[in-house]
Structure 1
Amino acid sequence: MIAHSEWKQGEVFEGIAENGNTITFDTDSAHKHGPSPMEAVLMALCACTSVDVVSILQKKRQELTGLRVTATATQAPAPPRVFTLIKLTYAVRGHLSRKAVEDAVSLSKDKYCSISKMLEKAATVEYEIVYPDGEPQP
């Protein structure tokens, strides 16, 4: 895997992957052109674990109709402003078994999500599961 970044102007940078996919990073406080690099890390964490959870629940034949993963992070007060605590909230919808959801989230965090495993080396990663439509089946 290869990636690089190019400075575009001001505080705007473009990240380019080996296959040509791009993402624009904006380090200005307004972030008008894209996320900051640290925001992108949180977004990547949410996407990484979401992929795992959806895949696992589908393999368990669970009727998942929605998933939103939200990351709330605390950063160190002084540079380097690494994440020190990340809390993931999994809002799941569908006709689901509580155990299946808990197992999927746990497997993602502890085994499959590469980004989570990397971030755990610097930050505590916690999670909670919420059911906006009410409690799932036992």
Structure 2
Amino acid sequence: MSEHQNPTHSVELLRTATNRYVARNADGAEVAFGRGEGLLSPVELLLAAIAGCSAIDVDTVTSRSTEPTGFRIGASGRKITEDSGGSRLADVNLSFHLAFPDDEGGRKAAGLVDRLVRLSLDKYCTVSRTVEHATPVEFETEVRVGGGPATTNR
């Protein structure tokens, strides 16, 4: 496996209230999420990220031929609890529902969809490939109490 030098992606998460957060990227784009009415949960955000990554791959290529008349992707997964007590998603599924005009461009775009979806999931979608490859997650903590010094752990 060769790894190419690619930019690092990052977001900053800010707590706005109990169980309410905003994730912000370096360009200032934001998404609110958390636990509660009107919010996507972190698990739902993960499903949206997987679906969104493949959506971009498919949309970029098919829209060169024509604009879709319908473009919807359902993303689902079943939360399971492992013997260790930890939880994760299993049986993650993407369901593509696309429609194109009945003309030459539409037929061309429609004919590309299955191949594009497979390429996205097998090669191009960074999000689904990261999940499939069980990428380790590392962390560090810095905690302050009052005006005292920070305690940092890795």
Question: Per chain length, whose mean CA-contact separation is higher, i.e. which structure has more relative contact order (CA < 8 Å, sep 6+)?
Answer: 1
AA at the equivalent of 1:57: T
Residue of structure 2 in register with 1:24 after alignment: 32
The answer for the alignment partner of 2:51 in structure 1 is 46
CA offset digits 1:54-82 (Å, max 9, x no partner): 112234x3563221110111122255322
Tell me if structure 2 keeps the 8 A contact 1:5–1:16: yes
Measured in 2, the distance between the counterparts of 1:114 and 1:2 equals 14
Higher strand residue share: 1
Greater Rg by CA: 2
Matches within 5 A, 1:1-138: 1-27=9-35, 31-59=36-64, 61=65, 64-77=68-81, 80-94=86-100, 95-96=106-107, 99-122=111-134
Deviations 1:64-122 (A, max 9, x none): 32211101111222553221221110001013355422111111111111111112235
Calculate the aligned-residue CA RMSD, in Å: 2.0
SS in 2 for 1:64: coil
> 3-state DSSP class of the match of 2:37?
coil
Is contact 1:24–1:33 with CA below 8 Å preserved after alignment?
Answer: no
Q: Over residues 20-60 of structure 1, what are the superposed CA-to-partner deviations in whole Å (9 max), with x where a residue is unaligned?
A: 22111222xxx32421111111111111111111112234x
Aligned length: 118
Looking at structure 2, the residues matched to 80 and 16 of structure 1 have their Cα atoms a distance apart, in angstroms, of: 28
Structure 1's unaligned 5+ residue stretches are 123-138
TM-score by length of 1: 0.74
